[in-house]
Structure 1
Amino acid sequence: MTGRLQDTVALVTGASSGIGEATARSLAAQGAAVAVLGRRRDRLEDLADKVRADGGTAFVVVADITDQRQAAAAVESVVAELGRLDTLVNNAGFMGVGPALDSPLEEWQRMLDVNVQGLLYTTHAALPHLLSAAEDSPRRVADLVNISSTAGRVARPGTAVYNLTKFGVNGFTEALRQEVMQKHLRVSVVEPGTVATELSSHLRDGIRQAIETQIQDIELLHPEDIADAVSYIVTRDRRVAVNEILVRASEQAW
């Protein structure tokens, strides 16, 4: 399989479904060897089989990135197996919504663990390898893409802690971008709007129904729409850095 990412290696977290799965397949279609990371081995193995059937290279990594040791070991296993790391897509996420007064603290903690700590753990482990790839790869550039949300720029009632995590991701992305841009490591953020994924499937019953009512008249984005944005970012020539892409459903106001 040939493409703009030929001879590169990409790691996608939260790859067992939705945006992560679509992104892994999109990067593989561009020629990258893809490491797919998540907690559900069966889903990851199925994804890897699809990538291989299409002529690509895939490596399955089962890990919980909210555990720092597992996150670091996962990154190191990718480099050991595939030889390098040129692209990291921090996609794993957890969304809990509802009035702050009635929200269980466990839900808040889970959002902090996955959306913030997990992203930090994988980023910290990957940075040396990404910087190395930017120096010695034929493309002479590497990419770190964080998947945020419209909730990283628009605060709304019922999403306070989710907003906290996604605003934080946006701020972290921009500060890190400025730190490493002279070394040709591009750091970008993609902010999806309403996407047809499993992200809302775990919401409490009453809240899930309210969300479904809220978006029932919107034609939802597909995971492939966000994967397209990620692929666009990482396939640009090294002289081009796409710092941020906001992708809303065409009928979405927030």
Structure 2
Amino acid sequence: MNSHTEQKIVLVTGASSGIGAATAERLAADGHHVVVGARRRPQLDELVARIAAAGGTAQAVDLDVTDIEGHRAVVDAIAAEHGRLDVLVANAGVMPLSRLDAGLVDEWKTMIDVNVLGLLHGIAAALPHFTARGSGHLVTMASVGAHEVSPTSAVYSGSKFAAWAISEGLRVESPAGIRVTTICPGVTTSELADSISDPKAREAMVAYRAHAIPASSIAAAVAFAIAQPANVDVNEIIVRPAAQR
């Protein structure tokens, strides 16, 4: 860590794989203390071990973002142990794409529960701490789907439009000390597509993901936003493959 860089206490949700894991590794490499949360504890423990082996510091917590009380308990425990929470990277998300006429209502509900309510739960848990200290940084992981809708993405894009709007609402409501950044990844290597059960959507995703960029590219965008001086608020970054149109 650069001697001029202040170590921050960062909670990354959905950190068991993909963008969340890459973000945790990058921020730990930058010298921050990273708390990684997700439902899959074995993957979190492996991530913490990798970070430690690379010289960073991290700890794992069991976290289901759809559980508001659980989310509050995790954030409160971090603040109690470390004296503060500086950054929440609200990365947890799911993407079971399908056409609306497929009628996969349960999958629609899951996307709303994780992608929208999960973000709101994170804000509800972290905002009181940010407000009390007069500082804090929320980083929302949205998507290019927050700006466009393609066949099979209606509900997913709807959830990411909502994430964008909620984050922007927090930004305009918050005092100057609280920063809000929305990261909108394009096609990125991750496990998100593994949740697609609809055969047509799954087939379409194979070609769509041909030019995927690594999760580390998104992690670099998060690191950039966090590293800015306290008076600089990077509001939104869209990162996509050069080949994606």
Change in Cα spacing, 1:51 to 1:29, as seen in structure 2 (3 Å) is same
Query: Of residues 165, 179, 188 in structure 2, which corresponds to 1:171?
Result: 165
Q: What is the CA–CA distance in structure 2 between the aligned matches of 1:114 and 1:251, rounded to whole Å?
A: 29
Q: TM-score, normalised by structure 2?
A: 0.94
Q: Deviations for 1:80-116, whole angstroms, at most 9, x for unmatched residues?
A: 2332100010000001211101131110000000001
- Partner SS for 2:193: coil
Question: Does the CA contact (< 8 Å) of 1:5 and 1:27 recur in 2?
Answer: no
Change in Cα spacing, 1:205 to 1:158, as seen in structure 2 (3 Å) is closer
CA RMSD of aligned residues (A): 1.5
- Partner SS for 1:251: coil
**Runs in 1 of length 4+ with deviation above 4 angstroms?**
1-5
Query: Of residues 186, 198, 202 in structure 1, which corresponds to 2:195?
Result: 202
Question: Does the CA contact (< 8 Å) of 1:148 and 1:191 recur in 2?
Answer: yes
Q: 2:236 maps to which residue?
A: 244
Structure 1 residue identity aligned to 2:22: A
Structure 1 residue identity aligned to 2:82: L
Q: 2:9 maps to which residue?
A: 9
Question: Does the CA contact (< 8 Å) of 1:4 and 1:31 recur in 2?
Answer: no
Q: What is the CA–CA distance in structure 2 between the aligned matches of 1:91 and 1:3, rounded to whole Å?
A: 28
Query: Of residues 183, 207, 215 in structure 2, which corresponds to 1:190?
Result: 183
Q: What is the CA–CA distance in structure 2 between the aligned matches of 1:143 and 1:3, rounded to whole Å?
A: 21
Please list every run of 5 or more consecutive structure 1 residues that lacks an aligned counterpart in the other structure.
136-140
Question: Does the CA contact (< 8 Å) of 2:10 and 2:87 recur in 1?
Answer: yes
**Which residues of 2 match residues 1-254 of structure 1 at below 5 A?**
5-133=5-133, 135=134, 141-180=135-174, 182-204=175-197, 206=199, 207-216=201-210, 219-253=211-245
- Taking only the aligned residue pairs, the percentage that are identical comes to 40
Q: Deviations for 1:215-238, whole angstroms, at most 9, x for unmatched residues?
A: 33xx21110000000000010012
- Partner SS for 2:158: helix
Please list every run of 5 or more consecutive structure 2 residues that lacks an aligned counterpart in the other structure.
none
Aligned residues: 244
